[in-house]
Amino acid sequence: MWKADHRRASDRRGLRYPSDLTEAEWALVSPLIAPAKRGGRPRTVNVREVLNAIFYVLSTGCQWNALPSDLPPRSTVWAYLDLSDWGRTIRRIHDALYVQSREAAGREASPTTAIIDAQSARGAPKGGARLIRPAMTRAERARAHVERSSMQWQAEGRRTSKDLGCKRHILVDTLGLFMSVDVHAANVQNRDGAEALLRQARRRFPFIERVIGDGGYASPKMTDLVRRTGAWTLEIVKRSDLHRFVVLPKRWIVERTLSWISRNRRLMRGYERHTRKAAAFVRLAMIRVILRRLAVSASA
């Protein structure tokens, strides 16, 4: 039941910006941030303010040049987001908060059911014909032939709207929380882009028994992939033939999750040129959801 304590915990009117971290949320995040490295120049940046600036960009969708002056400089915020170590920090924060959220809901840390789906985001009309930067690792370079022409297709108009930009592939549990995230070019079919997503989940969640997907994953290739990856069972929930809205079992959970992250304006279009940064923003969107949920439940 929603009580007065819950309303006070979720009230953000006293904050400088609605996207800022509250004291309760910062108390959950601060232990998960790695301390400054020994030696060299001491850290002078307020990491909480850096997170506030990243959440501001995520929530409002503003340009980096349009960051308010009372937040850290855009070069500082961008440099933190660009660091590979910071990318691992975002993943570590998400994974730790994920376990806390499941335990707060009375669930086991490792789920047994996973639901898969994807969301296409049209690429933003900005400079450069490639979705990802030339500076890539060997593994990223192997995927570049699939991704590099996505923005060029948009400029030339040779593909449909579903082929333009990027595709966010997510695997969620029955609470709607991310189990794994992958971002790739939008022209990759769902069943072809699911392999990296499932391999991520296999490393972290050993007790998965079944994977639920829509008709886009109905193929012998996908069934074999699910079986080879984790010896799981693939369950397809197809759309109803009725010409009206019908809530489909389990599939509505992942659709709700996609609506949660779509409230962030940065994710309305595919602004990022590098898939690693695009995946980081998707995880940050879920971190915001989990933080608010944990802060409200802690106040009860």
Q: How many other CB atoms are there within 10 angstroms of residue 87's CB atom?
A: 17
Residue 270: DSSP 8-state = B
Q: Give the integer Cα–Cα distance in Å for 151 and 232.
A: 35
For residue 123, give the 3-state DSSP assignment.
Answer: strand
Q: Amino acid identity, residue 37?
A: K
What's the one-letter identity of residue 2?
A: W
What pLDDT does 94 receive? 95
Of 32-46, 229-243, 275-289, give the range with the top mean pLDDT.
275-289
Count of CB atoms situated within 10 Å of the CB of 89: 17
Per-residue confidence (pLDDT) for residue 130, from 0 to 100: 47
% of the chain surpassing 90 pLDDT: 45
Q: What is the pLDDT of residue 67?
A: 94
Cα 118 to Cα 4, 71, 183, distances in angstroms: 37, 33, 9
82 has pLDDT over 60: yes
**Which two tokens mark 212?**
């639920």
**Around Cβ 168, how many Cβ atoms within 10 Å?**
26
d(CA 266, CA 274): 14
Res 300 pLDDT > 80: no
Strand pairing category for 113-121 and 166-172: antiparallel
What band does 39 get if pLDDT is binned at 50, 70 and 90?
A: confident
Helix (H) or strand (E) holding 211: strand 210-213
Cβ neighbour number for residue 195 with a 10 Å cutoff:
17
145 near 139, Cβ under 8 Å?
no
What pLDDT is recorded for position 104?
92
In this prediction, residue 246 carries a pLDDT of 63
pLDDT tens-place string over residues 244-275: 656 667 888 999 999 999 999 999 988 888 88
What is residue 1's predicted lDDT score, i.e. its pLDDT?
59
Instruction: Determine the pLDDT at residue 158.
Output: 47
Alpha carbons 16 and 21: distance in angstroms, whole number: 10
The set of residues, in sequence order, having a beta carbon less than 8 Å from that of 7 and lying 6+ positions away, is none
Give the domain range for residue 145: 4-132+141-299
Strands across the sheet with 113-121, in order?
178-185, 166-172, 113-121, 210-213, 233-236
Chain mean position to CA 205: 18
Write the pLDDT tens digit of every residue in 192-220: 889 889 999 998 998 999 999 988 898 88
State the CATH number of the domain containing residue 15: 3.30.420.10
Average pLDDT, integer, range 1-13? 67
Give the H/E segment covering residue 151: helix 150-156
Q: Are 252 and 227 in contact (CB under 8 A)?
A: no
Is pLDDT of 241 > 80?
Answer: no
Question: Would you say 144 and 136 are in contact if contact means Cβ atoms under 8 Å apart?
Answer: yes
25-42 mean pLDDT: 87
Per the structure, how many domains does the chain have?
Answer: 1
User: Does residue 155 or residue 91 have the better pLDDT?
Assistant: 91
Q: Where are the alpha helices (DSSP H) in 158-267?
A: 190-204, 220-230, 251-261
